[in-house]
Chain A
Amino acid sequence: MHIRLSDRSHALTNVSPLAALHGVPATVVGGYLGSGKTTLINGWLQEPGHRNWAVLVNDLGSINVDADRLRRSNGRVLELAGGCVCCTLRDGLGAALKQLAERPEPPEHVLIETSGMAVPRRVAAQLQLHRLEVARVLLVVDLERIEELWYDQWVGELVQQQFEGVDVLQFSKLDRLNPVMAQQRQDWLRQRLEEQRQRPSPPFHEERQLVRSDLWWQLEPLARQQVVDWSEQLGPEVLRAKGEVWLEDVADGPVSLDRIGNRLEMPTQACRPWSAPLQRRGRLIAISRATAPAPSWPATFQLPGGARN
């Protein structure tokens, strides 16, 4: 038997320092300074099911890091270092992920609380490049201040950009507005967002808990119609479903899928080539109301007639 030394040493040395985090689901929670991100996340960290989640906090915009919060969290909350990459020759997000990857037990899920000045979609893009699985990008919006911030001379454009590519909008501090006012603000915001991008705005979520997300891997191809049928039977508790599906009628790569409300977008072309011919798979994420049960998936759901697909 030949021992292929070169391959062996390759395996020993050529490993990404973030290998332990490849494929680990990640959540990005954005929102302007003071929007209520921390309150939402702290509440959610208390839940026993989230014991093995790690939280990365970037307080770049707020200057003073909440030291108590770091201390109380027993190492589950890590602080991201700030600064310009080209000045400091370091990338705060990468460095914090590396710290997580070096732990004996990698986290089940990584949650990033972005700086109030960050555009959450851009943070998500970096996580994707680090090969984490971005499960959801949420934006926490303070309806009381949003209209004033939207037009602010210094940060207005940034606040508007924070809505880019967000999966779900999560409202905070709704109790500070009377219901009529709250509804007016939501309508106002929906109009602004639709003006901005000519397609449905992200779904709104008003519960005072973070939305739930579920991830599904598709290991066998499906007929396009089956996916359409599945999408149509999803209830209103599923705020959004998105990802890439492996369809029988598209051979060269996965097809992107995005369902907002009742509207499904699933083009006829592949969104990219397969990484490798033998590594075909689809991947869907469903984001549901905090109290919703686990969703069904295209390969397993029952049509209303009871016929199994």
Chain B
Amino acid sequence: MVSAAADLILFGGPILTMEADQPRAEALAVAEGRILAVGDQSEVMALAGPNTERINLQGRTLLPGFIDAHGHFANALQVVAWANIQRPPAGPVSDIAGLQEVLRNHVAEHPVEKGEWVVGYGYDPDGLSDGRPLDKADLDAVFPDNPVMLIHNSNHGAVLNSRGLELAGYDASTPDPAGGVIVRRPGSHEPAGLVMETAFLPLFVHMPQPSDTERLKRFAKAQELYSSKGITTAQDGATVAGDLTLFQQAAREGYLQIDLVLLPLVLEVPGMLRERFPHFEGETLQLPKPALDSFGTYHDHLKLQGIKLIVDGSPQGKTAFWSEPLLTPGPNGEANWRGQPLVPPEVLNDAVVRLAAQGVQLFAHCNGDAAIAMMIEACRKAGLKPDQDHRTVIIHSQFMASGQLEKYAELGIHPSFFTVHAFYFGDTHIVNLGLDRASRMSPMASAILLGLHCSNHNDYSVTPIEPMRMVETAMTRRSRSGVVLGESEQVSAETALRAITIEAAWQIREESSKGSLAPGKRADLVILDRDPSSVADDELNGIAVVATFKDGQCIYGSATGAMP
């Protein structure tokens, strides 16, 4: 045991360490931003000095800070300026009058000029008690002079008011585009407000684009979205060139309070290199040495960890790539639709070989089993083996075919699962795939039996930042309507918690400094009001974060007991 005095000692509640040989402890001491000791209360208390702050957890639960295994931090910089119109518990809206009230309050806090867009996110018609969906007239009543865009909770559509429809150029004469719909008022051609899929895409050019100065100002709020949920390491899991420049500036100027891990999108890498190494001439995807050296190390809370490849689309949008057709038509009405890859196999193989040979860690987005098969094949062709410790991660690994997890083990690939799909999209998956195939989603129990390192993610802003819903869905795999998708893949609370702590740390090569409570590790901590390993399943998502610590400093809430 170390003899230095502790700055802080926490005791008096369950302490879940995520360490296999000592899963529970009575007290934890922090010195200089790191964990000094974890263990019996008497032993830890011996480290107290005259200036040590002692915090009695009063029965609350202490855990390592959560690690975002995959999500898009850049989206938080947009979303914090939008009105939250989600249904409870993620937001306050349960009827149309309440939604109008939220929008009124939003513009009171974020004033808009006449003609400027008002944007909200998380519209869910099923969450309205009015018995009808939102109509443009509901929004016109509040905003006659401003265009309004309320983004659907699928992120694949939005409700517009009359000004918004006018700007988009949608009226009774506009036909529905292939693969999209302009929802009409009953019995007429007149748009009702909701536009989905390909009819929604053109709206992105209207979305207000904040300047970099404005985005810098939003870093504090964006990070609070994470710290308020107990996350101390966030990810930007598909970084584009312009955002890399902004993140580097933010880090340099001290805007980062939590750690931020970047995975540059492979398509953006040539542009990033052109900007930073204008005279460098290399082969396809060859990185100059200083670029390679910049991976894996934090500078002012920011690090590049690997490169992101995208192999297919999303299962709920039916743009994932499966080996067998869906039971329902494709997004444009196609029969026998099984989705499509976004890159041809020869290109993927080439990218994996070239990047792996330079020692770059790869993170590949694959949702359908055919996309997963393409990535497995690319790794096999590149000669990847577990003993190289390359830690290639297949993000989502959502609908795996039998035998694919064994190939992961053989090649040293590890999955980052997305179990909240069971809740948000499980019922949709059952319609599209049938219960049997839908039940193969995120097979966490099988992966763990094979010894794979499994993380779990929210893929923010595809779904809200909800670590406890990740835990709940990894344990129950229950859909919104209550159907269980694959009972045999349910895992224990401990396993579910490991997936958002130590296993997530392992996937970004930080298991020796984060993800569990052990001496020498960073004092990244979260205090929850209840112990997730001992509450009923249906209470998990109601667990609240009391306080979050980064490197021993309280960055959210209050550790002394006052609830935020």
- Residues of chain A touching chain B, judged by Cβ–Cβ distance below 8 Å, are 6, 9-10, 12-18, 32-33, 59-65, 67, 79, 81-91, 93-95, 97-98, 116-117, 121-122, 125-126, 128-131, 154-155, 157-158, 161, 272-276
Interface check B529, CB cutoff 8 A: no
Instruction: Determine if B178 and A89 form an interchain contact, defined as CB atoms under 8 angstroms apart.
Output: no
Instruction: Determine if A117 and B340 form an interchain contact, defined as CB atoms under 8 angstroms apart.
Output: yes
Instruction: Determine if A33 and B270 form an interchain contact, defined as CB atoms under 8 angstroms apart.
Output: no
List, sorted by A's number, 15 A–B pairs whose CB atoms are closer than 8 Å. A16-B167, A16-B169, A16-B206, A18-B205, A61-B344, A62-B347, A63-B285, A85-B155, A89-B74, A117-B344, A122-B198, A126-B201, A128-B177, A154-B374, A275-B173
Q: Which residues of A contact B266 (CB under 8 A)?
A: 63
Instruction: Determine if A84 and B313 form an interchain contact, defined as CB atoms under 8 angstroms apart.
Output: yes
Q: Which residues of A contact B114 (CB under 8 A)?
A: 9, 13
Bound CA span A33–B350, Å = 14
> Binary interface profile of B, 73-107, with partner A (CB < 8 Å = 1, else 0)?
01100100000000000000000000000000000
> Binary interface profile of B, 294-327, with partner A (CB < 8 Å = 1, else 0)?
0000000000000000100110010000000000
Bound CA span A91–B350, Å = 26
Task: Out of B204, B285, B313, name the residue touching A90 (CB < 8 Å).
Answer: B204
Bound CA span A160–B346, Å = 18
Q: Which residues of B contact A63 (CB under 8 A)?
A: 266-267, 284-285, 343, 347, 350-351
Bound CA span A86–B370, Å = 21
Instruction: Determine if B265 and A64 form an interchain contact, defined as CB atoms under 8 angstroms apart.
Output: no
Given contacts A18-B205, A91-B205, contact A12 B115 (CB under 8 A): yes
Task: Out of A10, A12, A84, A122, name the residue touching B179 (CB < 8 Å).
Answer: A122
Q: Which residues of B contact A91 (CB under 8 A)?
A: 201-202, 204-205
Q: Which residues of A contact B167 (CB under 8 A)?
A: 14-16
Bound CA span A84–B285, Å = 21
Task: Out of B116, B145, B270, B334, name the residue touching A64 (CB < 8 Å).
Answer: B270
Given contacts A16-B169, A86-B156, A88-B72, contact A65 B270 (CB under 8 A): yes
Bound CA span A63–B269, Å = 9
Instruction: Determine if B343 and A89 form an interchain contact, defined as CB atoms under 8 angstroms apart.
Output: no
Given contacts A87-B238, A89-B461, A94-B201, contact A116 B267 (CB under 8 A): no
Bound CA span A156–B172, Å = 38
Least CB separation from A15: chain B residue: B167
Instruction: Determine if A275 and B198 form an interchain contact, defined as CB atoms under 8 angstroms apart.
Output: no
Bound CA span A97–B114, Å = 25
Most B Cβ at <10 Å: residue of A61, A63, A65? A63
> Binary interface profile of B, 168-201, with partner A (CB < 8 Å = 1, else 0)?
1101110101110000000001000000001101
| Contacts beyond the supplied A82-B268, A95-B204, A275-B171: 4 A-B pairs with Cβ under 8 Å | A16-B167, A121-B178, A154-B374, A272-B173
Task: Out of B116, B237, B310, B344, name the residue touching A33 (CB < 8 Å).
Answer: B344
Least CB separation from B338: chain A residue: A157
Instruction: Determine if A97 and B205 form an interchain contact, defined as CB atoms under 8 angstroms apart.
Output: yes
Interface check B139, CB cutoff 8 A: no
Instruction: Mark out the residues of chain B between 336 and 362 whose CB falls within 8 Å of any chain A CB in the assembled complex.
Output: 338, 340-347, 350-351
Bound CA span A272–B172, Å = 10
Q: Which residues of B contact A94 (CB under 8 A)?
A: 201-202, 204-205
Bound CA span A131–B167, Å = 11
Q: Which residues of B contact A130 (CB under 8 A)?
A: 202, 205
Most B Cβ at <10 Å: residue of A90, A98, A275? A90
Tell me the minimal C-beta distance from B489 to chain A in angstroms.
25
Interface check B163, CB cutoff 8 A: yes
Interface check B142, CB cutoff 8 A: no
Least CB separation from A124: chain B residue: B178
Instruction: Determine if B198 and A125 form an interchain contact, defined as CB atoms under 8 angstroms apart.
Output: yes
Instruction: Determine if A117 and B238 form an interchain contact, defined as CB atoms under 8 angstroms apart.
Output: no
Instruction: Determine if A131 and B169 form an interchain contact, defined as CB atoms under 8 angstroms apart.
Output: yes
Q: Which residues of A contact B271 (CB under 8 A)?
A: 65, 79
Instruction: Mark out the residues of chain B between 245 and 296 whose CB falls within 8 Å of any chain A CB in the assembled complex.
Output: 265-268, 270-271, 274, 284-285
Instruction: Determine if B332 and A122 form an interchain contact, defined as CB atoms under 8 angstroms apart.
Output: yes
Most B Cβ at <10 Å: residue of A60, A79, A86, A89? A86
Q: Which residues of A contact B74 (CB under 8 A)?
A: 88-89
Bound CA span A16–B115, Å = 11
Tell me the minimal C-beta distance from A243 to chain B in angstroms.
15
Bound CA span A9–B144, Å = 13
Interface check B137, CB cutoff 8 A: no
Task: Out of B113, B202, B314, B343, name the residue touching A86 (CB < 8 Å).
Answer: B314
Least CB separation from B197: chain A residue: A85
Tell me the minimal C-beta distance from B469 to chain A in angstroms.
19
Instruction: Determine if A84 and B115 form an interchain contact, defined as CB atoms under 8 angstroms apart.
Output: no
Instruction: Determine if B177 and A155 form an interchain contact, defined as CB atoms under 8 angstroms apart.
Output: no
Instruction: Determine if B317 and A86 form an interchain contact, defined as CB atoms under 8 angstroms apart.
Output: yes
Least CB separation from B330: chain A residue: A161
Bound CA span A18–B344, Å = 32
Task: Out of B75, B199, B202, B341, name the residue touching A155 (CB < 8 Å).
Answer: B341
Instruction: Determine if B205 and A129 form an interchain contact, defined as CB atoms under 8 angstroms apart.
Output: no
Interface check B493, CB cutoff 8 A: no
Q: Which residues of A contact B204 (CB under 8 A)?
A: 85, 89-91, 94-95
Least CB separation from B79: chain A residue: A89
Instruction: Determine if A273 and B172 form an interchain contact, defined as CB atoms under 8 angstroms apart.
Output: yes
Q: Which residues of B contact A89 (CB under 8 A)?
A: 72, 74-75, 78, 155, 204, 207, 461
Tell me the minimal C-beta distance from A240 to chain B in angstroms.
20
Least CB separation from B207: chain A residue: A89
Interface check B431, CB cutoff 8 A: no
Bound CA span A65–B190, Å = 43
Q: Which residues of A contact B332 (CB under 8 A)?
A: 122
Bound CA span A81–B115, Å = 28
Bound CA span A10–B346, Å = 52
Q: Which residues of B contact A12 (CB under 8 A)?
A: 115
Bound CA span A65–B266, Å = 11
Least CB separation from A66: chain B residue: B270
Q: Which residues of A contact B168 (CB under 8 A)?
A: 16
Q: Which residues of A contact B206 (CB under 8 A)?
A: 16-17
Interface check B450, CB cutoff 8 A: no
Given contacts A82-B267, A125-B179, A129-B177, contact A61 B198 (CB under 8 A): no
Instruction: Determine if A125 and B205 form an interchain contact, defined as CB atoms under 8 angstroms apart.
Output: no
Given contacts A84-B310, A125-B198, contact A60 B267 (CB under 8 A): yes
Bound CA span A136–B177, Å = 17
Q: Which residues of A contact B310 (CB under 8 A)?
A: 82-84
Tell me the minimal C-beta distance from A40 to chain B in angstroms.
20
Tell me the minimal C-beta distance from B334 to chain A in angstroms.
8
Least CB separation from A10: chain B residue: B115
Interface check B532, CB cutoff 8 A: no
Bound CA span A158–B338, Å = 10
Interface check B147, CB cutoff 8 A: yes
Interface check B166, CB cutoff 8 A: yes
Tell me the minimal C-beta distance from A117 to chain B in angstroms.
6
Bound CA span A276–B172, Å = 10
Bound CA span A128–B179, Å = 13
Bound CA span A94–B189, Å = 26
Least CB separation from A275: chain B residue: B173
Q: Which residues of B contact A87 (CB under 8 A)?
A: 72, 75, 237-238, 459, 462
Interface check B470, CB cutoff 8 A: no
Tell me the minimal C-beta distance from B112 to chain A in angstroms.
10
Q: Which residues of B contact A273 (CB under 8 A)?
A: 172-173, 189
Least CB separation from B164: chain A residue: A14
Instruction: Determine if A61 and B175 form an interchain contact, defined as CB atoms under 8 angstroms apart.
Output: no
Least CB separation from B206: chain A residue: A17
Q: Which residues of A contact B341 (CB under 8 A)?
A: 117, 154-155, 158
Instruction: Determine if B342 and A64 form an interchain contact, defined as CB atoms under 8 angstroms apart.
Output: no
Bound CA span A194–B457, Å = 46
Q: Which residues of A contact B72 (CB under 8 A)?
A: 87-89
